[in-house]
Amino acid sequence: MSVDRAVDPAAYSAADPAAHRGEGGPETSARNEVTLCGRVSMTAEERSLPSGDTVLTTRIVVDRPAPRRTSRGTGRTRQPVDAIDCVAWPARIRQTVRRWQPGDQVLVSGSIRRRFYRIEGRPVSRVEVEITQATRVRTAAERSTGRP
């Protein structure tokens, strides 16, 4: 997936159910594409799985847009950010992500995955972004000094 490609937001409009079925216009059926731009919140952790595969896990914090109105009396708190777990499987992507430090601003593309595994014999699942492209936009030092 190319992160430079423009996406027509109208193709994803909830007001046009035909767009979701792939009828007319751009092909939109069965898409699982994610692009995140945010801050790295933790040093990446690499694990070797019982299958022999290696996975690198990191977390990216993405600011939420400001609320349009307050939700008084609903009992809900307004969370200003989302912390999204991201995983890198291919060696090339793991090498890139391994160099990131907390506070770096990054851009990742990939797909949402629900992974199932067992801990102490109990089934567990996680939802995470499987990274297919990864770029550091600015280091934490550049962000703090305002340099591009």
Q: In this predicted structure, what is the pLDDT of residue 59?
A: 97
Structure tokens, 13: 């409009």
For residues 30-38, average pLDDT: 94
Instruction: Check if the beta carbon of residue 87 is closer than 8 Å to that of residue 74.
Output: no
| Contact assessment for residue 56 and residue 94, using Cβ atoms and an 8 Å cutoff | yes
pLDDT of residue 25: 53
Task: Give me the domains of the chain, ranges plus CATH numbers.
Answer: 33-65+80-145 (2.40.50.140)
Q: What integer pLDDT is reported at residue 73 of this predicted model? A: 55
Report the alpha-carbon distance of residue 14 to residue 24 in Å, rounded. 15
Confidence at residue 95, expressed as pLDDT on a 0 to 100 scale: 97
Q: What is the pLDDT averaged over residues 82-98?
A: 96
The rounded percent of the chain whose pLDDT value lies above 90 is 56
Tell me: pLDDT of 4 over 50.
Answer: no
DSSP E strand stretches across the chain = 34-40, 45-48, 54-63, 81-88, 105-119, 122-138
Q: What pLDDT, on the 0 to 100 scale, is given for residue 35?
A: 97
Model confidence pLDDT, tens digit, residues 101-146: 999 999 999 999 998 888 899 999 989 999 999 999 999 988 877 7
Looking at the DSSP assignment, which residues form a beta bridge with residue 47?
55
pLDDT recorded at residue 87: 97
Of 76 and 5, more confident: 76
Average pLDDT over residues 66-95: 80
